[in-house]
Every structure is written in structure tokens, then in C-alpha cells.
Amino acid sequence: MRNKTFIIVLTVIVSALCLYYLSFSFVAGNIQNKAEAYATDAQGNVDLAKKQSYLDSMWKEPVYMGMTYQEVKENELGLGLDLRGGMHVVLEVSPVEIIRSMSGNSKDPSFLKALERAQELQKNSQERFTTLFGEAYREVEPNGRLSRIFSNTANRGKISYESTNDQVIEVIEAEVEDAIDRSFNILRTRIDRFGVNQPNIQRLKGTGRIQIELPGIDNPDRVRKLLQGMANLEFWEVWSPQEFTPYFMQVGQYLDEQQKAGKLNITNNTTATAGNATGNKATVADASQDVLAQAAANDSVATDSTAIAAAPTTDSAATAALDSLNNPQTGVLASLFTQMPGGIGANVRDTARINDLFNRAEVRSILPPNMKFAWGVKPIAGDNRQEFVEFYAIKKGRDGKAPMTGEAINDARQDFDQAGRPEINMSMNPTGSKKWARLTGDNIGRQVAIVLDNYVYSAPVVQGEITGGNSSISGNFTIEEAQDLANILKAGKMPAPTRIVEEAIVGPSLGQEAINQGLISTIAGFVIVVIFMIAYYSRGGFIADLALLFNVFFILGVLAQFGAALTLPGIAGIVLTLGMAVDANVLIFERMREESRKGLSMRETISAGYDKAFWTIFDANVTTFIVGFILYFFGSGPVKGFAITLMIGIVTSFFTSVFISRLFVEGTFKKGGKLSFSTSLADKMFRNITFDVMKYRKPAYAFSLFILVFGIVAMFIKGPNLGVDFRGGRSYVVEFDQAVPASEVRSNLLDEFQEAGTEVKTFGASNRVKVITSWMADDESIEADEQVVTALEQGLQQYSNLNPEILSSSKVGATMADDIQNTALVAVLLALVGIFLYVMLRFNKWQFSLGGVVALLHDALMIIAVFSILNLFGVSYEMDQVFIAAVLTIIGFSINDTVVIFDRVREYLNDNPSKGIREVVNPALISTFSRTIITSLTLFLVVVVLFIFGGEVLRSFSLAMIIGVLFGTYSSLFIATPIVVDTTKEKRTQPAPQVQQVR
């Protein structure tokens, strides 16, 4: 074996890295167990608040190799929402409202008609909405000019009356992209403040959509309102330290009295000071709060009437005020507040306690009615891994509202001052200019807080009255910080509402059930593979099983290194990888058995087996990897999780099967001097097989055509059973105390759902049903969600004695469903094109590519046809995104099988240049027949186990896999290779094909 030392070193390094990253999961699990033990009473009841308190106390504490519990949690192998429960949401920023706002809410008939037409076109198009709007306007008003609608004050400097329609569309597109970025940043900050452990938020590239995953959520209504709420940008006056200190001292005295009387308990969590705090300038949440840490160091800020400086005052009165708060006699406040470079603040862990204290009626009665409080958005790092945030006393206006809101801002952008330092230039509309002049004129030398969603992003000091509506905010900003603050200021420029277009909620009980099902299916699948390999290949099978163990270990380790979450489809991917990983070992061992029949020594047999199988295995894995990559690129949610696991599994299985197993094989042979790759079972199977594929090709064509036509007829009669993600609507999993007939539940719900398309079916257990309805599918508002849930609850009223409980729910908007359908179709087509090109590149003949792709298309259509036929006879399984994942996986498996046969055909042609393809087809098929059947049988057994133990969520996936394995094996033998033969023109007359016999 060449490069043996390199393989050993690489294996050791990869194993060490996998152990390191998986160790975080063990450490985090150990702390979770300690927290549960700490919160469990003598009767075995767990106090969740006490458990969370324990975990909070450990959050910033070093627990492993100098890393805090927070850092350990960030590096552990996470679980997807389907395994631990939570909420998955896809939001869409509405371009319609942005365009309306940019037009000044124009009532122009052509403009309004074009907007409606663009919304219609969007349902069946992947184009950007702005492009569709431009097309719709040209259709409605061929000679119309958009500039007459959009050349207004809000767009001054960007759109003039002379602007062409294309130029106007470019500006609109830029504004929509900015709005999406602002929404993303605002949502990210809101989620960070929501207190969810390990949230995930990401932009879905090429769309105006944002995907959010929130594990452990138990209040979905609150989340919906939080995510869909409009950005609330405000400008407030700020109380100076010398103004609010007298009130704080009174509050401190009151709290001290309460504490002495035993009515108040304060724990001092502040174990570090923020005197040396420095900002981590990484995110929007960090962007502007850094100005608070500059203090009086900024002595070079602009002083003209259009500038405000990002530096708070630090006069003697302020210093005295801060000192008084840290007076030991004021015990409670001293334990909670700390002095910071630009004012006062608190440890992040103490903010909830401070909020609770200052919201008490007794404390509020001490404070002025026009005083409210806000925290800085950015935590500042202090000593001993502590984090601190600035505390602000905000001065409310007469009516309790902010003196000015974000609606006043016309534009904001990052620029540079005369010294070349980054700054933010901000312009106001006419109404805003007047308010801004009044606000700045009344607060010269004082701070004005820029507040978004009740968090202070910046509190610069006003240098002078600002008239004309143009201002600059200066300070020690980086370019990124200035850009981020400009985006925050633009958040209030125009409405950019978000709407939920896809939603899924998984209850914790379903999550635990999914974990159990995943573990059972994984273990059962692994045991079947282990037993079969040892029974068929003797000691060689044992080595293959050892390589499989390494494979699973590497998959989990790499997932942990990438920070990926393990989902239920991901577990299915691991189970599937176990079945497919056997293929490489089977190829190698079958090749060894062939070589051993030629009289080679065992050392030569091992070398020849691995060398001759290498490129076949490589080609087979590349084609499957192409499918996995396309799944990852076009999939979302569970499909993406499956694709990640599949791609990682392909790479690790190639490495373990080709390299690590060879190390074990050569090491075993060197130690024992002999090695067996056969058993009596293997010797008896596949003997004396006669096979003439060309003889049966026409009956095979006819059989496939019959199944496809039958499937089309079945689909025409009953229609395809599409899942919610393909047709739009809402679905709910409801559990009762005992079994209920699904048909009866459906009849009771029809009236509530106004006779809309409603389906109810048993889901897993007999006491559990899945309700799917298209009622109000086009309405994606929170109000519609609540209305549908109310109707569902009313329809279930007569089962109140059975305690119906909604375990999970999902929603897919009509537009989102159209996009998912189009994306699924594109994914399948791209997979076929990618495989066609790769096969043609490797085999240098388009006939091989054509035969392979036709067989793959045959397999995909067969799965759909059989599902339709089963649906016609009452066996109903949904076609959804996970179903498409199964179809694409079968495409990968089937081409894997086909490539192995093609590779042997090519080998026989190269070894026998005088022979034509018709002469070598049967020998090639027979020589690979044992490998084809063994691999297919192993994978078939694994997916059957997945079908039985994988749970209802994976039932459709595993059934599609079962059908696909059967037809994929069939097509590799009777469709792919015959098509290659039928489309190849022989240069000379070939003798009749000879039937071969394997002994």
C-alpha cells in the first residue's frame, strides 16, 4: 500500500479532531445532568426554574479546557428541532409594501394594477419581484414612465423625473435588498435578546426570505409577534447622571430597607468590573454601542451645527453621581450596578433582576413619571469573561411618546469626515427636519439616544442645533460599525414588514419520540449490516464492520466540527450511509474473490482487489455526492440536514472503505499469514447463473411502460397526495387519550373549515392523527393562524373527554409552496444533467450517459407512479420535500449501481478490443451480478428497518427508498445497459451474443 504512513497519520489526526469536537457534547450533557440532579426533589419532580438558574450560573464559568459553558454549548453537536422540539420559521420581507412606500403610497391606477399583476406573476416565477413589477408595468402601461411616480422627496438624489424605467427598477431593487439586510439584522438582535439557546438565523440567498430556528420554544404566539413586528426606531432625550442620581439614591435606600426587613433578596453576581471593558466589534448588535466606551478621548469631533459627537459627558457631577451609586451604604444598587467608561452599567446576568426591581410599583412611585430605562444593545467584555451593558435613563415626552421616530429619516449612509475617519450622514424629510432642529436645539451638550426595539444603539452628544435636516454622527467608528449604524437608522425610513410563509412547531414529546426512533433504527440497521457482512465475508466482513464503526464516528465528529445539527432525516442519512458504505467493501471483496480464482497469492489478491476497485468506487461516490450537493443547495430545513449528512457520509465511507479497511486487511494478513473473504454462504450463492440481458430487454421496457401508464391513470383519477410544503396550507398533529377514527374527526372538522380541502389520517399511533387543511392557505397573517387553530379546537370539542392535544403544527404559504415545487423540479433536473455530464466525461461515450440518465429518470418516475397507485388503493403517503430527498437519493444509488456495471463493460472492451459491446454486456453483468444483488439487498434491509422503526415522519421517505432500491436494481440490469447497446452502432457485424455461465 502506497503512502501507508500518510494514511495512518491522517487517520490519527482526524480521529483526534473528532474526539475533541465530540467531547463538547459529553461535557455539555454532563452539566445538563448535574443541573437536573440539582433541581430534582426527593419525589423526583424537576423544578425547571431551579434547573435554568443552575445553568445560568454556569453560563460564563470555565468548565472545560478553559472554555465557558456557553462556549461548550456553541461547539457541541446540536440536535435539530425535530429531535428536541422548537420552532422553524421562514419569513419573507414584503417588497410590495416597500414599493408602495417609495411611491409615496401612490394611487395611480396603472401603478396599482402593475403591483397586482406582479403578485400574480410571482406565483409561477422564480424572478425577483422587482423585475416582475417592471415587466407588469410595461404590460399595463407600455409607454408609461415610473419616474413620474417615484420622483418624490423620499427618493431625492436617486430618482429624478428624467430617470428611465430600468434605472428606477435598479433603485427599487437596491432599496429592497437594503430592507432585507436591515430586517435580518433587526431580527438577529431580537432573537439574541429573546433568550433562546443556540438559535439559528440565516438569509436564504437569492430570495427575500430569512430562515429562523428556535429550539425549545414554548410560546409560539409570542415568537410570531416578535418576528413580524415592525422595527420601532426612536430618538429620545437622556437624563444626565446628576439629574437621575438623587432618585436612584432614594430607590437604593428603599431597597436596602426592604432587604433588611427580609422582603428582598439580592445575590451579587458581579464578580468583575467593566473598567477595562473593550467592545467586540463583530455584529450589528455591537456596531454602535462602542461609542459609549470612548468617553472624553474623542476631542477631535466636528463642532459645526450639523454634527453630533459620539461621546458622553464626563464632568465632575457625573463622576460624583457614579461614585454615590458605588457607595457601600447603598448596598443593593452597589451589588447590581458598576461604573463603566461612559456612565453606569451592569453585568448581563443582573439585567433581568434590575428590570424586575425597577418595574415594581413602589420603585416606580419614587421615580419621576417621565423617566424610563433602556439597556445598550452591545455587551462589553470585562474581566473574568464577564459581560456588561450600559444603562440609560430615558426622558419621556409629555404624551409618553418619543420626540422623533424613524419615519422622519429620509436616508442614512456611511461616509468619511475631513480627517478621513468613518462617520454616518443622516438626512431628514421636511417634517423630520423641524422635529430634529427642536430636539437638538433643546439638548445642546446632552445625549440623544438612538433606540431600536427598546435597545440603545448609540447615544451621541449634540454639539449644536441642527437645522436643514442634515446631520453627521462622528466618533471612533470602524467602517463596518458606521455602515451598521447607518443601516439601523434606515430601519425606520420605510415600512418593511415581514410575513411568515413557512412555519413548523415540534413539541418536546414528539422530539424525544423521534430520538428514540432514530436510535432504534440506527442500531437495528447497523446490527443487520454487521451480521450480514460477517456471515458472507467471514473475517473480511468483520474488518468491513470495523470500518463502518469508524465511518459513523467520523460522520458525527465532522458534523460537530462544522457546527451542524443532527436531525431526524440526518439520522436517516447515517442509516442510509451504513447501507451504501457496504457497497465499497463488497466491490473490493468481490474483486478479491475474482482475482484469487486466477491463482494469485493473497498479497497480490489484496493489492489487485483494492487497486482495480478504486476508480469504480470513486466514480460511484462522485455521482452520489453530486446528488447530495444539489440537495443541499436547493433543499431547506430537514432536506438540507439530510444532504449534509449524506455528503459527509460519502466522503468518510470512501476514506474508511478504501484506506482504513486496507490498513486492517494488510495488518491482519501480515500478522496471521492468511485471510478469508468467503464463507459457505458466499460459495453457494450466485453459482451457475446464466443471464442474457438483451433477451429480456423488450419485456422489461413493456413492463416499465405499463407501470408508468398505470401510475399516470391513478394520479389522474385521485390526484397526487402532495404534502403541505408542495400545495400550501396548514397541518397539525393531534393526540388523544385513546384511538379515534380519522374519518370521524374529518367529518367533524369540515364545517369548521368551511368545507375547504381537509384531510385527516392516522399518524403513527392509533390515538394520533394528522390534520391537513387548505382553508385560508392564501392568508399568511397571524390572525389567520389563530383563526384556523380556533376552528380546529372547536371541531375537536366533542372529544374533550379524550383530552386532544396539538403536538406539532406546520404552515406553508401558497407562494412558498410554488417555490418549493419549482425548486424540487430544478433539483431533480440538475441532478440528471450533472450525472449525464460526469458519466460522459468518465466513459467518453454519450451512449453511457444516455443509458444512465434514462434509467435514473425511469427510477424517479417509478417511485411517483407506485405512490399514485398505492394512493388509488387507499395506502396514502405524502409526496413532500423529504419524498423528493428520497427520489434524489435513489438517483444517486441507482447511478452508483449502473456505473459499476458500465465500468466493467468498459474494462472488458479495453481488454478485448476485437469484440463489440454486445459481446461483453452479458459477461460484464454476470461478473458484477453478485455485487449488485448484495449491495441492493443490504440497502433494502436497512431501509426496511427504517420504514418499521424510523417513525411516521420518515415513513414516506423510507417507503420511497424501498421502491427505489427495487426499481433501481432492476433498471441497472434491464434498462441502462440495454439502452447503451441499442444506441451504439457496431462497426462490423457481431456474432450472436453467447450466454455465459458462472461456476
pLDDT one-digit tens code per residue, 659-701: 888 888 888 877 766 777 777 766 677 666 777 778 888 899 9
102 and 245 inside one domain: no
Residue 107's pLDDT is 87
Query: DSSP letter at 915?
Result: S
Domain boundary among 494, 524, 540: 494
Report the sign of the C-alpha dihedral through residues 570, 648, 65, 74, in that order.
negative
**Beta partners for 35?**
none
Dihedral sign of CA atoms 233, 238, 244, 247 in order: negative
Q: How far is CA 105 from the centre of its chain?
A: 36
pLDDT band with cut points at 50, 70 and 90 for residue 293: very low
- Do both 873 and 793 map to the same domain? no
Residues ≥6 apart with Cβ < 8 Å to 374: 236, 392, 394, 449, 451, 454, 455, 456
**For residue 221, is it within any domain?**
no
pLDDT(592) > 60:
yes
Does residue 217 lie in a domain region?
Answer: no
Is the pLDDT assigned to residue 710 strictly greater than 90? yes
Nearest to 863 by CA among 949, 966, 763: 966
What gap in Å lies between CA 334 and CA 343, rounded to an integer? 14
Lowest mean pLDDT among 458-467, 781-790, 842-851: 781-790
Grade residue 305 by pLDDT with cuts at 50, 70 and 90: very low
Helix (H, G, I), strand (E, B) or coil at 771: strand
Assess whether pLDDT exceeds 80 at residue 244. yes
SS3 524: helix
How many angstroms from the chain centroid is the CA of residue 146? 38
Instruction: Decide if 202 is inside a domain.
Output: no
Domain count, the chain: 5
The answer on pLDDT for 246 being more than 70 is yes
Q: What is the pLDDT of residue 559?
A: 86
Q: Is the pLDDT of residue 629 over 80?
A: yes
Q: Would you place residue 601 in the very low, low, confident or very high pLDDT band (cuts 50, 70, 90)?
A: confident
Residue 926 and residue 846 share a domain: yes
Kindly indicate the confidence band of residue 299, based on its pLDDT and cuts at 50, 70 and 90.
Answer: very low
Q: What is the pLDDT of residue 13?
A: 92
- What is the spatial distance between Cα 102 and Cα 95, in angstroms, rounded to a whole number? 10
Residues 433 and 513 both lie in one domain: no
Residue 852 lies in a domain: yes
858-880 mean pLDDT: 86
Contacts 24+ apart (CB under 8 A), 681-689: 681/535, 681/536, 682/536, 682/537, 682/593, 685/930, 686/929, 686/930, 686/933, 686/998, 687/998, 687/999, 688/997, 688/998, 688/999, 689/926, 689/929, 689/997, 689/998
What is the reported pLDDT for 695? 83
Strand partners, 390: 345
The C-alpha torsion from 546 through 551 and 554 to 559, rounded to 10°, is: -150
Of 466, 494, 522, the one marking the end of a domain is 494
Q: Please check whether residues 806 and 822 belong to one and the same domain.
A: no
Please tell me whether residues 656 and 748 are part of one structural domain.
Answer: no
> Distance (Å, rounded) from C-alpha 944 to C-alpha 946?
5
CA dist., res. 273 & res. 286, Å (int): 19
Neighbours of 516 (CB within 10 A): 12
Q: Could you tell me if residue 81 is inside a domain?
A: no
Rounded mean pLDDT, 531-541: 82
**Among 266, 260, 456, 258, which Cα is nearest to 366's?**
258
* pLDDT value at 792 more than 60: yes
Q: Are residues 608 and 709 in the same domain?
A: yes
Percentage, residues of the chain above pLDDT 90: 3
pLDDT for 322 beyond 60: no
Q: Which residue has the higher pLDDT, 441 or 330?
A: 441
In whole angstroms, give the CA distance from residue 497 to residue 93: 6
Cell output for 153: 422627496
- Asked whether the predicted pLDDT for residue 17 surpasses 80, the reply is yes
Using pLDDT thresholds of 50, 70 and 90, give the confidence band for residue 705: very high
For residue 377, is it within any domain? yes
pLDDT at res. 607: 87
Looking at the chain, how many residues does it have?
A: 999
The candidate with the shortest Cα–Cα distance to 371, out of 316, 488, 449, is 449
> Can you tell me whether residue 485 is helix, strand or coil?
helix
Domain holding 823: CATH number?
Answer: 1.20.1640.10
Domain range enclosing 60? 4-76
Q: Read off the pLDDT of each residue in 653-663 and give the average, rounded to a whole number.
A: 88
Please give the Cα distance from 866 to 576 (Å, whole number).
21
Contact 969, 932 (CB under 8 A): yes
Does 665 lie in the same domain as 549? yes
For residue 509, name the pLDDT band (cuts at 50, 70, 90): low
Of the two residues 756 and 797, the one the predictor is more confident about is 797
Q: Give residue for cell 465511507.
A: 653
Q: pLDDT digits over 544-565, tens only? A: 888 888 888 998 888 888 877 7
In this prediction, residue 206 carries a pLDDT of 63
Grade residue 230 by pLDDT with cuts at 50, 70 and 90.
Answer: low
Residues 103 and 39 reside in one and the same domain:
no
Q: Which of 532, 530, 656, 520 is nearest to 588 (CA)?
A: 656
Average pLDDT of 229-249?
82
Average of pLDDT values for 48-68?
79
What does each C-alpha distance from 210 to 184, 501, 722, 832 come to in angstroms? Answer: 7, 10, 25, 29
- d(CA 683, CA 597) in angstroms, rounded, equals 12
Each residue of 116-152: pLDDT tens digit?
888 888 766 667 888 889 889 998 888 888 888 888 8
Q: What percent of the chain has pLDDT over 70?
A: 83
Q: Among 812, 847, 865, where does a domain finish?
A: 812
Between 823 and 197, the higher pLDDT residue = 823
Asked, for residue 199, whether it belongs to a domain, the answer is no
Residue ranges in 724-845 assigned as alpha helix (H): 724-727, 742-750, 782-795, 814-843
Please state the rounded mean pLDDT for residues 200-221. Answer: 74
Which candidate, 158, 228, 144, places its Cα nearest to that of 190? Answer: 228
215 within a domain of the structure (yes/no): no
pLDDT digit string (tens) for 636-651? 656 777 788 888 888 8
Answer yes or no: do 775 and 831 share one domain. no
pLDDT of residue 996: 47
The single residue listed with the C-alpha cell 453530486 is: 626
Does one domain contain both 525 and 414?
Answer: no
- Give the count of alpha carbons within 13 A of 959, CB side only: 21
Residue 499 or residue 978, greater confidence? 978
Q: Are residues 438 and 585 in the same domain?
A: no
Q: Cβ-count burial of 767 within 10 angstroms (0-12 exposed, 13-18 middle, 19+ buried)? A: middle
